[in-house]
Amino acid sequence: MPKAGIIYNDQKPIAGRIAIELKEQFTEKGWDICITTGIGGILGYSTPQSPVCHTPIEGLTPPGFDSSMKFVIVLGGDGTVLAASRQVAPCGIPMLAINTGHMGFLTEAYVNQLPQVVEQVLTSNYSIEERAMLTVKVFRQQSVLWEALCLNEMVLHREPLTSMCHFEIGIGNHATVDIAADGIIVSTPTGSTAYSLSAGGPVVTPGVAALQLVPICPHSLASRALVFPDSEPVNIYPVNTTQLVMTVDGNGGCYVLPEDCVTIEKSDYSARFIRLQSPEFFRILREKLGWGLPHIAKPTSVEIP
């Protein structure tokens, strides 16, 4: 009996309704279906009263979800996809993301396309695109305080974000650099169109084996975005007298003290996306972000006598 999973955003009634309908539809066709919400992929926030909020990376996989699954259908927006990626990446399960949210930059299809989508996946008429993920860890006295898988970006900043922070950053075997800024972003190519883009970082196409370091409002004209190979790990040491806050993919975080070290490296796990048509990144940039749209009026050629 083939096996698949469904992960949905339980804050959206339409996603919950469609999840039940899909489970019934696949069950009638002889599939074993496991269903859960994306809440299990939410990392949670530590607090000053409870600074340790450590769940091992492999501990987020929902019960019943394993490598025998053909795929997982994700119903929600980009936040649900980010959460689901942490739930299923350790098992290598491909995700088919259906947009029931707003932007849907990471989703593959819309709800009104479900009949055709279901037909395609049942006949295995699709390809799989691998997206690099990061392993983010916070060390305190050689012990792992907090860790998470990251598909978009890691952000380290002061809380509240109102004053300058200082960082010592080591990339691979290169000399340590000092950066003064409101915060630091370390982004994957997938995350280059998210917070990193808003902070002035470049767009990096998904197939590029690179990461980028983007200072947030740096206090120097020389501190600009840096793109480097994803084979080089990053170590960040906060040079501050007060604690900082780290967030991963915008939905979970950990307090970072002056004596802590944040390490970031390419993960052994990757997010695997089901593609129903050939991936065309520039088309997505154009449709979702308006990149490369033609001018309304173009100059006409003028013949010179």
Q: Which residue numbers belong to the known binding site for NAD(+)?
A: 78-79, 152-153, 182, 193-198, 251
CB atoms within 10 A of CB 86: 28
For helices 114-122 and 13-28, angle between their N-to-C axes, nearest 10 degrees? 40
For the annotated binding site, the residues are 78-79, 152-153, 182, 193-198, 251
For residue 121, the Cα-to-chain-centroid distance in whole angstroms is 24
* Residue-wise DSSP of 243-288: -EEEEETTSEEEEE-TT-EEEEEEEEEEEEEEESS---HHHHIIII
78 as an active site residue: the answer is yes
Catalytic residue among 10, 78, 230, 249: 78
Residue burial 87-125, b: 16+ Cβ < 10 Å; e: rest: bbbbbebbbbbbbbbeebbbbbbeeeebeebbebbeeee
> What are the residue numbers of the active site?
78
